[in-house]
């Protein structure tokens, strides 16, 4: 062996020894010991992981999988200290080759890396969806809540389709001022795009995300079904961002465009040259408004209906609260919200009891950070265990009870000294900027449905223990498994009220 080869070998061995020594000395948050090369690959729970993390009883836990660091935070203090107070280094978003690169969701600004580009998009979105701006959408939110009633009274058995259409059509109207019907090709296009994201998330981790080099495998290659699926989905995703936005711009040129979110964006551009440079930004903002807005609202409404047929006493209390204000003589308006605090409490409890994303959307660190003497390396994926926090007895006594009254005082008014489930919408600088729009939409939908309908289940429900958990999907976004319910007008004048809403529309 040559002298240079000996030096090279000695240097390599020394480097490996130093790396191993550093690794042993690095004090990561507590976690199970891993295996060589694969680390904790078999330790990370797959089914209902939020429940299993709670059973461990740890405020934070660390995994290392194939060289990737993962930290799960399971206390409000840990989340506040890491994701809020250190948000300057914990606000990145981990990339997904399958979702972003192959299926085209890299065009959605919520998937951008933490950067000036992301901040510019968020600032502009926040300008139109912040709390002070949300009232401009109340009229259309009310209109579509009343359209939903008409659909439910005619074909109640199709309630999942009615909810998805009503919410989707409302968002399209607000974003583009298009009045779409269920059979509209645009409705099908955007729903197919959103469905692609749901399918990718439901599938879990794709091999191409673990071995990114697989992105170069040809679609025709045996076993490359993921490439063929991604190519099919990308057509829908690109259509979501491009087709309605381009259609709106064409209507502007002919003078037929109506005021909406897109027009508000375009009106701030002075000349065509500048517009050309901002087209992709506006397409990302408008397309993301649909994709992010519809799924959260639709899934929460389904969770609400599931809760109503499981906890009829809460529904009875909501009926009484609505009747005291509306007297069964009119449909609700957003102005009634302060007079019906029980309904706000009911919405809070739906969000607290079953958060849609139990582990929260993942963050990623951009630099090494520290917490309680432990090292959180750069590029660590950080989860906030929302489900555990909202089941914390110190924040919510008797957390397994579905009890909207926990948010109300003896006088029936909303309490100011209890924890409101804001974690439902995320953490730190990545908290959902459309949360005010979403809560307004949800309140109006709940108020309208319960003002006129009794919602009843088709079969009994288990409400305790693991039997309860098994009635929800176990993937990243946890929603009720398919269920049936009935919508019965609860007093003789209810049908007339629904018709009056149709006439007003």
Question: Residues 475, 204: contact at Cβ < 8 Å?
Answer: yes
Q: For tokens 């519809």, what's the residue? A: 294
H/E element holding 182? none
122 bridge partner residues: none
Residue 432 labelled as part of a binding site:
yes
Please give the Cα distance from 422 to 428 (Å, whole number): 11
* Residue 393, SS3 per DSSP: coil
The total number of residues shown for the chain amounts to 505
Please give the Cα distance from 41 to 359 (Å, whole number): 18
Question: Residues 145, 444: contact at Cβ < 8 Å?
Answer: yes
Phi and psi at 239, nearest 5°, equal -65, -40
Question: Residues 453, 152: contact at Cβ < 8 Å?
Answer: yes
Please give the Cα distance from 319 to 490 (Å, whole number): 9
Strands 453-457 and 381-384, bridge-based pairing: unpaired
Question: Residues 88, 387: contact at Cβ < 8 Å?
Answer: no
Sequence ranges of the binding site for heme? 432
Sequence ranges of the binding site? 432
């Amino acid at each position: 062996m040559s002298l240079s080869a000996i030096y090279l070998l000695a240097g390599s061995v020394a480097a490996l020894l130093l790396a191993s020594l550093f690794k042993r000395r690095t004090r990561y948050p507590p976690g199970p010991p891993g295996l060589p090369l694969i680390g904790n690959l078999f330790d990370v729970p797959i089914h209902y992981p939020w429940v299993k993390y709670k059973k461990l009883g740890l405020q934070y836990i660390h995994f290392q999988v194939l060289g990737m660091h993962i930290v799960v935070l399971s206390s409000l203090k840990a989340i506040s200290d890491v994701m809020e107070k250190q948000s300057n280094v914990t606000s990145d978003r981990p990339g997904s080759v399958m979702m972003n690169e192959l299926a085209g969701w890299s065009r959605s600004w919520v998937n951008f890396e933490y950067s000036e580009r992301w901040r510019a998009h968020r600032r502009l979105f926040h300008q139109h969806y912040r709390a002070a701006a949300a009232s401009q959408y109340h009229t259309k939110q009310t209109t579509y809540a009343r359209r939903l009633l008409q659909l439910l009274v005619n074909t109640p058995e199709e309630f999942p389709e009615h909810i998805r259409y009503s919410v989707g059509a409302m968002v399209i109207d607000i974003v583009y001022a298009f009045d779409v019907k269920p059979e509209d090709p645009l409705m099908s296009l955007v729903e197919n795009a959103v469905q692609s994201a749901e399918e990718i998330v439901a599938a879990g981790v794709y091999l191409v995300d673990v071995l990114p080099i697989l992105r170069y495998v040809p679609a025709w290659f045996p076993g490359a079904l993921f490439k063929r699926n991604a190519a099919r989905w990308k057509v829908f995703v690109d259509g979501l961002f491009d087709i309605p936005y381009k259609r709106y711009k064409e209507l502007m040129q002919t003078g037929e465009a109506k005021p909406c979110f897109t027009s508000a964006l375009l009106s701030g551009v002075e000349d065509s040259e500048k517009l050309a440079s901002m087209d992709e930004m506006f397409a990302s903002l408008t397309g993301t408004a649909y994709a992010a807005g519809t799924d959260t609202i639709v899934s929460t409404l389904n969770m609400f209906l599931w809760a109503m047929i499981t906890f009829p006493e809460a529904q009875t209390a909501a009926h009484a609260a609505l009747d005291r204000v509306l007297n069964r003589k009119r449909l609700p308006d957003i102005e009634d919200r302060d007079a019906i605090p029980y309904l706000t409490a009911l919405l809070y409890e739906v969000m607290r009891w079953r958060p849609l994303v139990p582990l929260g959307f993942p963050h990623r660190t951009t630099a090494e950070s520290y917490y309680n003497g432990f090292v959180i390396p750069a590029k660590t994926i950080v989860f906030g265990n929302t489900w555990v926090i909202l089941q914390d007895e110190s924040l919510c006594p008797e957390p397994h009870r579905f009890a909207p009254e926990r948010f109300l005082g003896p006088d029936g008014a909303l309490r100011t000294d209890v924890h409101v489930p804001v974690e439902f919408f995320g953490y730190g600088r990545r908290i959902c900027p459309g949360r005010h729009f979403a809560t307004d939409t949800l309140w109006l939908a709940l108020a309208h449905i319960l003002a006129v309908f009794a919602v009843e289940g088709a079969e009994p429900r288990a409400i305790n223990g693991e039997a309860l958990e098994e009635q929800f999907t176990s993937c990243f976004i946890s929603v009720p498994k398919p269920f049936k319910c009935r919508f019965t007008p609860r007093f003789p004048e209810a049908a007339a009220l629904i018709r009056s809403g149709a006439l007003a529309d």
